[in-house]
A and B are shown apart, each in its own frame.
Chain A
Amino acid sequence: MTLLAINWPHVWFVTILGFALVLALLVVLIYVLKLFGVIMHPRVKVENPQEVHAAVGAPRKENSEHITLTGEATAAIAMALHLYYNGIHDEEPTQVTIKKVERKYSPWNSKLYGMNNLHRN
């Protein structure tokens, strides 16, 4: 009885049109972003590693904007920079941090003048 009371055409309309609109709006954004990427062309181009191997032995191109980096190389460089800039390394500072504890005499640590030094008659 409850099912009959539901406005099914409207429910289906909201379901299908709603999802279609989400999809359509995000597809619009994809094309806008792609266009955006073309306009704001990045300086670093990443090549397929197979093409790089094929190019070994060929005369090196004198193009400073044409840098080839594989994922592993990028990760290694990033890790090295991270270690360098954050000072995370294995070297010890070679400073002795354990200092000799000296108990110099002072009236403030003297037994003679201590608060617990009861006066005996």
Chain B
Amino acid sequence: MWTDILEFFQKMGFMQMGADFMGVGWQQLVMLFVSFFLLYLAIKKQYEPLLLLPIAFGMLLTNLPGANMFHQELWSAFLDPSSPTYHSYGAILKEGGLLDVLYIGVKAGVYPCLIFIGVGAMTDFGPLIANPKSLLLGAAAQIGIFVTFLCANAMGFTEAEAGSIGIIGGADGPTSIFLTSKLAPHLLGPIAIAAYSYMALVPVIQPPIMRLLTTKEERAIKMKQLRAVSKTEKIIFPIMVSTIVALILPDAAPLIGCLMLGNLMKECGVVDRLSKTAQNELMNIVVIFLGLSVGATATGASFLNWQTLMILAMGIIAFGLGSGGGVLLAKLMNLFSKDKINPLIGSAGVSAVPMAARVSQQVGQEENPGNFLLMHAMGPNVAGVIGSAVAAGILLTMLG
């Protein structure tokens, strides 16, 4: 009986953490506190709670000693060509825990695409169709991705890692996860957390950059009302964009295809049940799976190192450059355009839908309370989603 009791005590998480405290024990303890802090931010401060809460809880579960819910070593063997279990999902299913099984969806690139179906079903591309020039602002905002790619290389990251870090500048969580799971899966935890943290901090990060790069008069510019967009245009748009983008850049097809499929379901009006499911049930289920499994990758050993700090630092640079790039291009377009553009809508070219567009609206109204920029900003905002998915496809083609 005493042996059983002793065995029970030895299996306790506290004992396991204490037994190897100087090894991985302290890292697990620190990560538990990090997860508590993120849970606090999600619940109390409501920073992207829908994603941050499952991510933080996944982080909590994976760092509980003895719980065996996620096995980093199994995934290291999965990626090692010399291992007998190289690219073997069977080994993961046989030996893995609950979070290992859920993580298969991330590794196979399924969750980000399913989320894009939901995003597409919730997006109105009308402002973009009405003002196609918005696409330029969406493209300019992607400069942060490529400049950060350059900087990350200079700081000693490999090209694949640098591409994954750069994509944070697209401010698009699913795209960041999709690309990182393909190019640098070992950095998935820090990159996903950086991407979602900065998306949540859009109202804090963007306004100072927007004010710095614009004059008071520019911020007060009133834009011409957008033309009406017919239903037929909205139905043909997703079919047309999917076809053109996939034919030019096949690697972007999974993301763009799913985004446009969701949008087509919404706009065609004949599959309301599917559209509502994509917007609600599907989206919510996948967000839970994605959040938990991404959080699970943030183990002490993979998270508590200098690389994570560098990724967080470069992520904010990428994000700032993207926001600034959009604003500056809008100013440049004003030099040649007859109809003036309010440069504030340029910062919405980073994805972060619809938060970035709302920030453009708020900053614009500070200068001119009668100015309504929201619909104008939605154009570059949804263009940013397309732009970051295209940038991910390009990086995947060149570095994958």
Interface contact A25-B249, CB-CB below 8 Å: yes
Residue A75, interface by CB 8 Å: yes
Q: Which of A11, A15, A25, A70 is the one whose CB lies under 8 Å from B245?
A: A25
Interface contact B225-A69, CB-CB below 8 Å: yes
A-B contacts at CB below 8 angstroms, number: 119
Shortest distance from the beta carbon of A19 to any chain B beta carbon, whole Å: 4
- Please name the 7 residue pairs, one residue from A and one from B, whose CB atoms are nearest each other, closest first: A33-B132, A26-B139, A26-B135, A19-B146, A30-B132, A44-B228, A71-B225
Interface contact A70-B225, CB-CB below 8 Å: yes
A5 to B150 alpha-carbon distance, docked (Å): 14
Interface contact B129-A22, CB-CB below 8 Å: no
Residue B310, interface by CB 8 Å: no
28 chain-A/chain-B pairs, Cβ below 8 angstroms: A3-B154, A6-B154, A11-B153, A12-B150, A14-B395, A16-B146, A18-B394, A21-B249, A21-B390, A22-B390, A25-B245, A25-B390, A26-B138, A26-B383, A26-B386, A28-B244, A29-B132, A29-B245, A36-B233, A36-B237, A37-B227, A42-B227, A42-B228, A44-B228, A48-B224, A71-B225, A71-B372, A75-B372
Residues in A whose Cβ lies below 8 Å from that of B128 = 33
Interface contact B241-A29, CB-CB below 8 Å: yes
In this complex, what residue of A is CB-closest to B245?
A25
Interface contact A28-B147, CB-CB below 8 Å: no
Interface of chain B, main secondary structure: helix
Considering only residues 215-247 of chain B, those with a C-beta below 8 Å from chain A are: 222, 224-225, 227-230, 232-233, 236-237, 240-241, 244-245
Interface contact A43-B228, CB-CB below 8 Å: yes
Interface contact B133-A30, CB-CB below 8 Å: yes
Residue A40, interface by CB 8 Å: yes
Residue B248, interface by CB 8 Å: yes
Interface contact B146-A15, CB-CB below 8 Å: yes
- Knowing A3-B154, A19-B146, A75-B372, say if A26 contacts B387 (CB, 8 Å): yes
Residue B149, interface by CB 8 Å: yes
Residues in A whose Cβ lies below 8 Å from that of B386 = 26, 29
Interface contact B150-A37, CB-CB below 8 Å: no
Shortest distance from the beta carbon of B346 to any chain A beta carbon, whole Å: 14
- Knowing A15-B146, A19-B146, A22-B387, say if A29 contacts B244 (CB, 8 Å): yes
- Knowing A11-B150, A75-B372, say if A19 contacts B233 (CB, 8 Å): no
Residue B270, interface by CB 8 Å: no
Residue A121, interface by CB 8 Å: no
Shortest distance from the beta carbon of A35 to any chain B beta carbon, whole Å: 10
Residue A27, interface by CB 8 Å: yes
Interface contact B132-A40, CB-CB below 8 Å: no
Residue A52, interface by CB 8 Å: no
